[in-house]
């Protein structure tokens, strides 16, 4: 009897030890779509210091738990522009017919899992990262991604933190979202088919703000389309209606993210791209949210190489819908030229 108990105890101990050693190891599953998905990276670490602080992420949900110790309810009510919602519903990748995408996930510096789609046209071809505005998510960039893919570029569309299917607390109008772009670049360079690919970014509105800020911190972005880009993201009245809202946004973002949202000013960063990033500014002459004079301010603050294209009759973020033929011609010619320059 004693011998049987000893044998049972030994087996139990071995089972516990084996379970401990196998923790965190991915086992093969039966889901073919999951097995075909590129693996998520790990939270970015290294010599580059993130601009935002690190706070816990809710698992397995999409939201970060907030513990606000110094923000009263009246202040939070004035931050409505930072809570635009997650955008339109996102279908399964297999249901997207404009281009053949696969699901991808990758982490940003803060440990939040970001969700997106990747479409590979050819190994080692340049990758264009498409970054959406607010409100919105990857779905607002599908049409642009489709013609870039058909032109021969690899494309990555993803939801910024707090948008779409990505984790996150709330929008920061491009400030923390700029780190999401840097994390996307890290993910792209971790994949065998794109580890040597050149990187371009097409940013729309808030996505353009984030792209300019990201390019000011990374030499990897060699070509940037900034469409309907604000001069100062916290002065866009559609998102920040007045000075009280701006001060409330600043207080809330500082409390949760540890960053000053009032630094989300592309005009202060665009000059830092000198000599490493080609830039194309696109704006409609009927844009009342990011008016044409703002594009001129950005253009004059930018260094060469730079271009601009003004779309007659287009409002905010409407260049593609108003003149799709001209849009495709200008954007593909810009990226072709920028990437060709690198190989000369």
pLDDT of residue 15: 44
Q: Return mean pLDDT, the chain.
A: 86
Query: Exposed e or buried b for every residue in 302-316, given b needs 16+ CB within 10 A?
Result: beebbbbbebeebbb
pLDDT score of 51 more than 50: yes
pLDDT score of 252 more than 80: yes
pLDDT of residue 151: 98
What pTM was computed for the model? Answer: 0.84
pLDDT of residue 290: 98
Question: CA 148, CA 121: separation in Å to the nearest integer?
Answer: 9
pLDDT score of 140 more than 90: yes
pLDDT of residue 76: 86
- Give residue 20's pLDDT band: very low, low, confident or very high (50, 70, 90): very low
Give 343 or 316, the one with higher predicted confidence: 316
- Give residue 343's pLDDT band: very low, low, confident or very high (50, 70, 90): low
Angle, alpha carbons 120-121-122 (nearest 5°): 95
Identify whether the C-beta of residue 160 lies closer than 8 Å to the C-beta of residue 166: yes
pLDDT of residue 188: 97
Identify whether the C-beta of residue 223 lies closer than 8 Å to the C-beta of residue 190: no
- Upper half-sphere CA count for residue 271 (Cβ side, 13 Å): 6
Mean pLDDT computed over 5-9: 48
Mean pLDDT computed over 64-77: 67
pLDDT of residue 28: 32
pLDDT of residue 299: 98
pLDDT score of 268 more than 70: yes
Run of H or E including 221: strand 221-227
Provide the CATH topology of domain 64-342. Rossmann fold (3.40.50)
Whether the bond into 202 is cis, omega within 30 of 0: no
Name the token pair of 192: 């065998």
pLDDT of residue 59: 36
- Give residue 275's pLDDT band: very low, low, confident or very high (50, 70, 90): confident
- Give residue 39's pLDDT band: very low, low, confident or very high (50, 70, 90): low
Give 317 or 35, the one with higher predicted confidence: 317
pLDDT score of 34 more than 50: no
Question: CA 297, CA 309: separation in Å to the nearest integer?
Answer: 14
Mean pLDDT computed over 92-121: 96
pLDDT score of 168 more than 90: yes
- Give residue 219's pLDDT band: very low, low, confident or very high (50, 70, 90): very high
Mean pLDDT computed over 109-136: 96
- Give residue 195's pLDDT band: very low, low, confident or very high (50, 70, 90): very high
- Cα 320 to Cα 15, 63, 315: the distances in Å are 60, 32, 11
Question: CA 212, CA 221: separation in Å to the nearest integer?
Answer: 10
Question: CA 130, CA 217: separation in Å to the nearest integer?
Answer: 18
- Give residue 8's pLDDT band: very low, low, confident or very high (50, 70, 90): very low
pLDDT of residue 11: 42
Identify whether the C-beta of residue 246 lies closer than 8 Å to the C-beta of residue 223: no
**Which range, 13-17, 18-22, 28-32, 134-138, is most confident?**
134-138
Place of tokens 């970054």: 131
67's CB contacts (< 8 A; 6+ apart) are: none
Integer distance in angstroms from the first to the last C-alpha of the chain? Answer: 82
Give me the residue spans of the domains in the chain.
Answer: 64-342
Give 64 or 57, the one with higher predicted confidence: 64
pLDDT score of 293 more than 70: yes
Question: CA 92, CA 67: separation in Å to the nearest integer?
Answer: 33
pLDDT of residue 248: 95
Angle, alpha carbons 94-157-284 (nearest 5°): 125
pLDDT score of 107 more than 70: yes
């Amino acid at each position: 009897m004693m011998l049987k108990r000893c044998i049972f105890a030994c087996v139990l101990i071995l089972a516990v030890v084996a379970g401990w050693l196998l923790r965190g190891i991915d086992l093969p599953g039966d889901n073919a779509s999951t097995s075909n998905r590129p693996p998520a990276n790990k939270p970015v670490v290294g010599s580059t210091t993130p601009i935002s602080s690190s706070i816990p992420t809710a698992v397995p949900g999409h939201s970060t738990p907030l513990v606000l110790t110094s923000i009263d309810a009246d202040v939070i009510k004035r931050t409505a522009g930072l809570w635009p919602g997650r955008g339109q519903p996102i279908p399964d990748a297999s249901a997207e017919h404009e281009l053949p995408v696969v699901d991808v996930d990758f982490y940003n510096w803060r440990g939040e899992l970001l969700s997106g789609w990747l479409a590979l046209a050819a190994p080692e071809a340049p990758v264009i990262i498409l970054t959406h505005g607010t409100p919105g998510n990857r779905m607002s960039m599908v049409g642009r991604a489709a013609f870039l893919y058909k032109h021969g570029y690899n494309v990555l569309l993803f939801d910024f933190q707090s948008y779409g299917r990505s984790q996150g607390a709330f929008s920061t109008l491009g400030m923390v979202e700029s780190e999401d772009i840097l994390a996307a670049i890290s993910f792209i360079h971790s994949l065998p088919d794109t580890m040597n690919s050149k990187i371009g970014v097409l940013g729309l509105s808030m996505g353009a703000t984030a792209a300019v800020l990201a390019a000011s911190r990374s030499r990897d972005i060699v070509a940037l389309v900034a469409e309907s880009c604000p001069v100062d993201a916290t002065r866009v009245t559609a998102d920040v209606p007045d000075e009280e809202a701006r001060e409330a946004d600043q207080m809330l973002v500082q409390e949760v993210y540890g960053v000053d949202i009032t630094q989300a000013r592309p005009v202060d960063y665009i000059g830092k791209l000198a000599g490493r990033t080609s830039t194309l500014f696109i704006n409609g002459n009927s844009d009342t949210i990011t008016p044409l004079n703002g594009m001129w301010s950005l253009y004059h603050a930018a260094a060469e190489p730079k271009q601009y294209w003004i779309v007659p009759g287009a409002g905010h973020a409407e260049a593609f819908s108003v003149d799709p033929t001209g849009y495709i011609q200008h954007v593909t010619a810009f990226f072709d030229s920028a990437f060709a320059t690198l190989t000369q």
